[in-house]
């Protein structure tokens, strides 16, 4: 590890004999890449570290102004980014080992202070610290990225226990990371089929078994920690080590409740009349086709009633379009009340309505329904301070046989 300028090595040691050995070892190495600075007190070492520019510290734990682990702690607090090597000899090996566990890179025994072992230990410590810093920065960059994206990310180990959640996953699942880590995946991530309410297969297990990315099935509902439900979508994938072996899995998911609601709303609008909320021509045709197919299989009859209001143009002319719209809404409500829930009432446009009676025993049933509808429509309707009577006529078609008739009200 060569550098244009020599790396500054700070020796904090009050024993002149040890200091001379360290300097001689570095001089004998003749690499020119390491330059030694010596101080005998901890206070002097801390002052030098405050000025920056030190690449590594050789530290004696027993000093006139500090002793033991406290010495390391003060140096580490002053320069946590600088690798620290403990000089053995004047302290017990157990204390030196404890220092390594508390953040020191390594410790050197007296017989390792030579022109080969000392420079090598220093270069290794500096390089290792550099790699640790690079890995730390990479990890921090990844965490910041994961916490900045809108998608939720959840990871497990190969045993199926949670190892990580990003902020979006915490928000969606209502689980805090500290509480979720170590728990079984299906305890934190409970999903069901939105239609059947049955539990869905574990996507993480599927990803591991198939060793590939798998997508969540449609209409997937997440049961959050507080019991509330959320529609979600996305995929799970295995995590591999360097050898290509699966060591866990990651699932990326997001809330699609708003998108799904918007899709349902758009579908509803495409099949319903905007004024009355009744099924429109498109939805009616679909239901008629289904009813004809069912009637054919079950050998029964259906009827289609075409309702046309009388003098609707006069209402529009006298009360304006707002009055006409209110009349149409009143008529649609009465038509819905006049038939069964299994039947369909549709507005075709203007003052035209079509009713599908999905099952009738005989043609006379359709005629009786038509008369009932016309009587309901003829009852007064208060619109714009006036009582209006929505008289009309109904044409009837029956399948099979395609019988047709027309019913008027009042009877002509």
Residue-wise pLDDT tens digits, 72-86? 999 999 988 899 998
Q: Is the pLDDT of residue 30 over 90?
A: no
Catalytic annotation present for 351: yes
Averaged confidence pLDDT in the chain:
85
pLDDT (tens digit per residue) in 222-253: 999 999 999 988 889 999 888 888 899 999 99
210, containing H or E segment = helix 203-210
pTM: 0.52
Residue given tokens 């990371």 in the structure block = 177
pLDDT at 1 exceeding the cut of 50: no
Which architecture, in CATH terms, is 272-409?
A: 2-Layer Sandwich (3.30)
pLDDT score at 409 = 46
Domain extents for the chain? Answer: 7-144, 149-260, 272-409
Question: Over pLDDT 90: what percentage of the chain?
Answer: 34
Q: Is the dihedral of CA 191, 193, 199, 204 positive or negative?
A: negative
Mean pLDDT value of segment 84-97: 77
SS (H, E, C) 306-332: EEEECCHHHHHHHHHHHHHHHHHHHHH
| pLDDT at res. 384 | 65
Give the whole-number percent of the chain exceeding pLDDT 70: 92
CATH homologous superfamily for 7-144?
Response regulator (3.40.50.2300)
Confidence (pLDDT) at 138:
77
Q: Which of 58, 67, 68, 65 is nearest to 9 (CA)?
A: 58
Q: Is the pLDDT of residue 280 over 50?
A: yes
If one compares 166 and 260, the residue with the highest pLDDT of the two is: 166
Confidence band for 2, pLDDT divided at 50, 70 and 90 = very low
Helix, strand or coil, per DSSP, at residue 201: coil
Confidence of residue 31 (pLDDT cuts 50, 70, 90): low
- pLDDT for 311-355, tens place per residue? 777 766 667 778 788 888 888 998 999 899 899 999 988 888 999
Dihedrals φ, ψ of 245, to 5°?
-85, 140
> What's the confidence (pLDDT) of residue 108?
84
Pick the closest to residue 146 from 137, 154, 158 (CA basis).
154
The better pLDDT of the pair 22, 134 is held by 22
Considering 98, 202, 343, 351, which one is annotated as catalytic?
351
Query: Quick one: pLDDT at residue 90?
Result: 59
pLDDT of residue 3: 46
Give every CB contact of residue 61 below 8 A, 6+ residues apart in sequence: 67, 68, 69, 71, 72, 86, 87, 90, 91, 95, 96, 99
Residue 117 and residue 71: Cα distance in Å, rounded? 24
Asked if pLDDT for residue 107 goes beyond 90, the answer is no
Tell me which architecture the domain covering 149-260 has in CATH: 2-Layer Sandwich (3.30)
Which residue from 40, 66, 51, 41 is spatially nearest to 8, judged by alpha carbons? 51
pLDDT at 5: 79
Most confident residue range from 95-99, 143-147, 197-201: 197-201
Residue 145 reports pLDDT greater than 90? no
At residue 412 the predicted structure's pLDDT band, cuts being 50, 70 and 90, is very low
pLDDT at 401: 67
Task: Tell me what pLDDT residue 385 has.
Answer: 67
62-66, 161-165, 267-271, 313-317: least confident range: 313-317
* pLDDT beyond 80 at 8: yes
CA distances from 144 to 36, 108, 150, 166, 240 (A): 39, 38, 12, 9, 22
- pLDDT reading at 89 higher than 70: no
Residue 346 has φ and ψ, to the nearest 5°, of -130, 145
């Amino acid at each position: 590890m060569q550098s244009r300028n020599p790396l500054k090595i700070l020796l904090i040691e009050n024993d002149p004999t040890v200091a001379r050995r360290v300097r001689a070892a570095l001089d004998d190495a003749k690499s020119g890449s390491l330059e030694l600075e010596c101080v005998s007190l901890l206070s002097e070492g801390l002052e030098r570290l405050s000025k920056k520019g030190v690449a590594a510290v050789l530290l004696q734990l027993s000093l006139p102004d500090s002793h033991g682990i406290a010495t390391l702690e003060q140096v580490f607090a002053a320069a946590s980014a600088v690798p620290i090597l403990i000089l053995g000899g004047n302290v017990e090996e157990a204390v030196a080992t404890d220092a390594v566990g508390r953040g020191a890179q390594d410790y050197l025994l007296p017989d390792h202070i030579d022109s080969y072992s000392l420079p090598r230990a220093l270069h290794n410590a500096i390089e290792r610290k550099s790699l640790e810093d690079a890995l730390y920065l990479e990890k921090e960059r990844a965490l910041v990225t994961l916490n900045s994206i809108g998608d939720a990310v959840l990871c497990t180990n190969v045993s199926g226990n949670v190892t990580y959640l990003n902020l979006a996953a915490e928000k969606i699942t209502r689980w805090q990371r500290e509480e979720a880590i170590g728990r079984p995946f299906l305890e934190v991530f409970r999903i069901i089929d939105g239609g059947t309410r049955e539990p869905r297969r574990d996507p993480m297990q599927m990803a591991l078994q198939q060793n590939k990315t798998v997508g969540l099935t449609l209409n997937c509902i997440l049961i959050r920690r507080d019991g509330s439900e959320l529609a979600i979508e996305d995929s799970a994938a295995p995590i591999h080590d360097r050898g290509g072996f699966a060591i866990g899995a990651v699932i990326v998911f997001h809330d699609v409740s708003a998108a799904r609601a918007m899709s349902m709303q758009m579908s509803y609008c495409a099949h319903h009349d905007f004024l009355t909320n009744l099924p429109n021509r498109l939805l009616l045709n679909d239901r008629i086709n289904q009813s004809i197919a069912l009637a054919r299989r079950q050998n029964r009859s259906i009827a289609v009633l075409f309702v046309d209001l009388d003098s609707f143009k006069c209402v529009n002319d006298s009360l304006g379009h707002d009055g006409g719209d209110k009349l149409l809404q009143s008529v649609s409500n009465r038509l819905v009340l006049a038939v069964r829930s299994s039947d369909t009432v549709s507005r075709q446009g203007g003052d035209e309505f079509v009713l599908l009676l999905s099952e009738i025993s005989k043609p006379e049933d359709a005629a009786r329904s038509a008369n009932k509808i016309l009587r309901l429509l003829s009852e007064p309707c208060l619109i714009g301070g006036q009582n209006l009577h929505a008289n009309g006529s109904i044409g009837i078609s029956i399948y099979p046989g395609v019988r047709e008739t027309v019913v008027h009200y009042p009877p002509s």
